[in-house]
Amino acid sequence: MNRYPLWKNILILTALLIAGLYALPNLYGDDPAVQISAGRTATVDLSLSEKAEAALKQANIEYKGVSLEDDKLLIRLTSADDQLKAKDVLNQAIKGDYIIALNLASTTPSWLASLGAEPMNLGLDLRGGVHFLMEVDMDAAIKQALDSYASDLRLALRDDKIRYKQIKVEGQEFIVVLRNTADKDKAESIIRRDMGDLQINEGDDTSGPTLSMTMTEKSLRETKNLALQQNIITLRNRINELGVAEPTVQQQGDNRIVVQLPGVQDTAQAKKILGATATLEFRLVDIEHDVQDAVNGRIPPNSVLYYSREGRPYLLDKRVMLTGEHIINAASTLDGQTGTPAVSVTLDGKGARAFSNVTGDNIGNPMAVVFIESKAETKLVDGKEVKVRRQLPEIINVATIRDQLSKKFQITGLDSTTEARDLALLLRAGALAAPIEIVEERTVGPSLGQDNIDQGFASVMIGFTFVLVFMLIWYRLFGLVANIALAANLIFIIALLSILQATLTLPGIAGIVLTVGMAVDANVLIFERIREELRIGNSPQSSINAGYSKAFSTIADANVTTLIAAIVLFGFGTGSIKGFAVTLALGIVTSMFTAIMGTRAVINLIYGRQHKPKLSI
């Protein structure tokens, strides 16, 4: 009646051994390390390793070892202070397209690593670093889309020789003012043919026949989603350039992005690079019109007025020759002739062809490099704070086109090597599809992270100890068996977190603490049922069998409802809520296994062969 078949006992023992094996790496800890990875134009090899070791030895920095792992050079240090010193030394010693990042290197033995056993990841609140919550300016994304539509329509009307008075963007619509009704009909047919995502609203005003276009609801949703996804990709590229190991960049809601940078303590540099909304444009200088007339307010319709850093006005062609989206590589350097800071730029095939054609047709004409930065300002409007975003275009260089430019060229006119380095980083990572604003910022120091780990571990141990003592006093030998199952349950949770490479956060530890208390609920129900069966005069063996069989449905109902709540928390929650939901869900699953099958197996081994045992419960 109370005996498991041999295969079931072997199954339980095998599961426990496998869980112990995959939980074991978490006991070894981590070494502070510096990770060197290659960019697009560099390689990580033995010569780089020798160069890094020589630099560390020269600076008298002790290190445990250097290894090449997955095309990355990993240098293990003895302390966090040496880790920071080593990064500074390597930044000075290693030049070229390399990314040098702080990291934590696992000390798991090779035989465990060969089995795929790795420690679980620690979240930002346990490891230390910075957390940003960023909001995407969706109004700006829509305006950029409308500007693109307006530019395309302007070219289409010119190609079809359709005359128009004005094309302008106002709010969430752009307006075309035609010269006559015939041109209006032709323009409308072009819009319906080539721009199906636009909704046309006809009208007339004192200027002439007018067409106003707005984006459809579907097009608006797609534009917003595309801006959000493109910003996520760009932020990931920028973080890679910053040299941060194991970052987290994920969507939150319809217009927000969560960025977590473990190990980063310099929030100023991180904010400067992540929040930068700068773009780069190349435009021809308008030499046909007088710039002074434009300064006085008479700007030609096909030109724009921008100023250089020195305050000198320039009249530029409204058409953009090239934008930063075609740049595939950029590196800070020095100009070979003047020795001033510069950025060497490499274009993709499409950008190189377009740039080659335009510069080939304009040899001898001046060209301007425009740096455009978007900044948000808060203003009081009718007593309420309103955020207004404005663009700050700045001409950083004006040069005469001497030759037909193509795939590679240089940008000069920069103030410092720091500006050249930051501009090269932004150009490599790409421009944001829409401006973003940091609405929340949190910093967790490494010492605070360690304190969180220590306090979290202490809370688990204290809760675990109190439960052990209570179960042992109240249920005696059966309580001891429940305690063994509870210890096994913790091993299973840690093993699953390690196998899934889930990230353990402080709320995740709270989920484990809650699981410790909930895991014995099933055993309490079973043991109380066994006591009740004994009180009504049933035999010990039948009481054990009835206790496990009759309490199972109640246990299953309670755990399934809690599991549903954990799944909902994971599905709709973000960040720390997900961490809590993961450990809670895993704890429920493992506690069902250990509290029912595990304790039953041990009780069967103790009492299963006795005819009339005296139960210690």
Band of residue 492 on the pLDDT scale cut at 50, 70, 90: very high
pLDDT, average across residues 525-546: 84
Q: How many residues in total does the chain contain? A: 617
Q: For the segment 191-223, what is each residue's pLDDT rounded down to a tens digit?
A: 787 777 778 876 666 667 888 888 888 888 888
How many CB atoms sit inside 10 A of residue 525's CB?
A: 19
The per-residue pLDDT of the chain, averaged, comes to 80
pLDDT given for residue 17 in this prediction: 92
- Answer yes or no: is pLDDT of 523 > 80: yes
Q: Which SS3 state, helix, strand or coil, does residue 358 take?
A: helix
Contact assessment for residue 261 and residue 442, using Cβ atoms and an 8 Å cutoff: no
Q: Which SS3 state, helix, strand or coil, does residue 410 take?
A: strand
Give CA 110 to chain center in angstroms: 30
Contacting residues for 458 by C-beta, under 8 A, at least 6 apart = none
**Predicted TM-score (pTM) of this structure:** 0.58
Paired strand residues for 133? 258, 440
CA dihedral 55, 57, 61, 67 (to 10 degrees): 70
Q: For the segment 446-476, what is each residue's pLDDT rounded down to a tens digit?
A: 566 667 777 877 887 888 888 888 888 888 8
- Answer yes or no: is pLDDT of 579 > 60: yes
pLDDT, average across residues 556-570: 86
Of the given ranges (123-127, 301-305, 519-523), which has the lowest mean pLDDT?
123-127
CA distance 540 to 478: 13
Compare 168 and 266 and report the one with higher pLDDT. Answer: 168
Contact assessment for residue 259 and residue 235, using Cβ atoms and an 8 Å cutoff: yes
- Answer yes or no: is pLDDT of 567 > 60: yes
Contact assessment for residue 37 and residue 99, using Cβ atoms and an 8 Å cutoff: yes
Write b or e for each residue in 7-29: b if 16 or more Cβ atoms lie within 10 A of its Cβ, otherwise e: eeeeebeebbeebeebbbbbeee
Q: Where are the alpha helices (DSSP H) in 116-216?
A: 124-127, 138-159, 181-194
Nearest of 511, 513, 551 to residue 530 by alpha carbon: 551
Q: For the segment 351-376, what is each residue's pLDDT rounded down to a tens digit?
A: 888 888 888 888 888 888 887 766 65
CA distance 440 to 442: 7
Q: Tokens 């049922």 sit at which residue?
A: 529
pLDDT given for residue 407 in this prediction: 81
Instruction: Report all structural domains of the chain as residue ranges with CATH numbers, in order of start.
Output: 6-25+445-607 (1.20.1640.10), 31-106 (3.30.70.260), 138-220 (3.30.1360), 225-442 (3.30.1360.200)
- Answer yes or no: is pLDDT of 23 > 80: yes
Q: For the segment 317-345, what is each residue's pLDDT rounded down to a tens digit?
A: 888 888 776 777 777 888 777 788 888 88
- Answer yes or no: is pLDDT of 265 > 60: no
Q: For the segment 37-58, what is each residue's pLDDT rounded down to a tens digit?
A: 776 557 788 888 888 889 898 8
- Answer yes or no: is pLDDT of 426 > 80: no
Q: What's the Rg (C-alpha) of the chain? A: 33
Contacting residues for 236 by C-beta, under 8 A, at least 6 apart = 247, 249
pLDDT, average across residues 131-160: 80
Q: For the segment 88-131, what is each residue's pLDDT rounded down to a tens digit?
A: 888 888 877 677 777 777 788 888 888 888 888 777 777 777 88
CA distance 66 to 275: 35
pLDDT given for residue 18 in this prediction: 92
Tokens (6 digits) for 6:
């041999």
